[in-house]
Structure 1
């Protein structure tokens, strides 16, 4: 356990931070970290109170989903996390939440277009809808893996919740907060029944090119937590 203790401590601290900020509620959602150039990842256990979680409760899995450490059962979405890491070598942290405003958009199947510079810079060209599949199933893992190859860092899972990525957990949490801001703003704009304006295409592409530059650095293990 000592080899991965620091990683487990980071996962617990991150889960509790997300809970205190209201993005993780009860035992819903799950988060994981996959170190660069590693064949393992750590993930939160299934149906466990985040505020009571200790490092020894965190599950260590290999990329074949064999449990290497931890006595508790891993999240039912462990397979989904694993498939994302295989599909996206630039991603080293995943946060799956049932955060309220983003979840509301999943119910009306409303993808978020490029509304803000910051959104595109860190989340991608748009926040797309991943079609519904039952939680904890191979169908969900396969559906998600197929849809996350477009290099965006945030997705809306139909009738489920949000899926957010980062090159590290600090960035993933930051992206969760950007997503909720955009989700709330977009919901209010939709309720106004007025035209919702997007940022200019040229600006969108410039912002997205900066994100892709970061992703390529992350894939090569050259990026730090500041994204530089």
Structure 2
């Protein structure tokens, strides 16, 4: 499937695999193809060794897959983000240890990051003094139900960079693959810092 950003997405996926952020074929990635369709990783593929043939064309409005092949089980979350935010062109979903553990350690409905210089890796952030809020949604094997909760949240509070699914992992995105990759790297660094801070400050 030809797309000008696909080589950059494949490079990002291979890099993610090297980081160990999508073990055991976990995670899923996507790219907006046009106004009506997106490319989503096929189910069960190792993200560190993806090829262009591992991305399936999916109808954004209906989640229909014209090829009849099976995309990621979480395709509905990708198509939701594309419907909500026309400026988003790439989505990365990872299962890192830091994101997974921190989403369980934090008991509230959002992780608030403040005081870190690396917050400036996120689009629009200009200072460590600001607060960055990453929503946390309860995990659910019913992806339609989970997508419904994300959509309901977004009706009142715009999702900026991504969100966590408790005990599951991180979804993040960008206006280009490069921005999505920068957001992922920045958030992973922030998650690791925050987890270390909580461990060191624990009584």
RMSD over aligned Cα atoms: 2.4
1:116 to 1:153, Cα distance in 2 relative to 1, 3 A? same
Aligned residues: 190
Matched, 1:135 2:133: no
Q: Quick check: 2:113–2:190 contact (8 Å CA) kept in 1?
A: no
Unaligned runs of 5+ in 2: 126-130
Q: Given that residues 120 and 126 in structure 1 are in contact (C-alpha distance below 8 angstroms), is that contact kept between their aligned partners in structure 2?
A: no
- Check if 1:60 corresponds to 2:68: no
Q: Which has the higher helix share?
A: 1
State the TM-score, normalizing by the size of structure 1.
0.73
Aligned twin of 1:15: 13
CA distance in 2, matches of 1:8, 1:73: 19
Closer, same or farther: CA 7–188 of 1 in aligned 2, 3 Å: closer
Task: Give per-residue Cα distances to partners, 1:151-175, cap 9 Å, x unaligned.
Answer: 4203221121111111111111111
1:173 corresponds, among 170, 181, 187, to 181
Paired with 1:39 and 1:99, the residues of 2 have a C-alpha distance of 31
Q: Which residue of 1 aligns with 2:122?
A: 122
Q: 1:119 to 1:49 in 2, by over 3 A?
A: same
- Larger strand proportion, structure 1 or 2? 2
Please tell me whether the aligned partners of residues 134 and 164 of structure 2 are also in contact (alpha carbons under 8 angstroms): yes
Q: Where does the alignment leave 5 or more consecutive residues of structure 1 unmatched?
A: 195-228
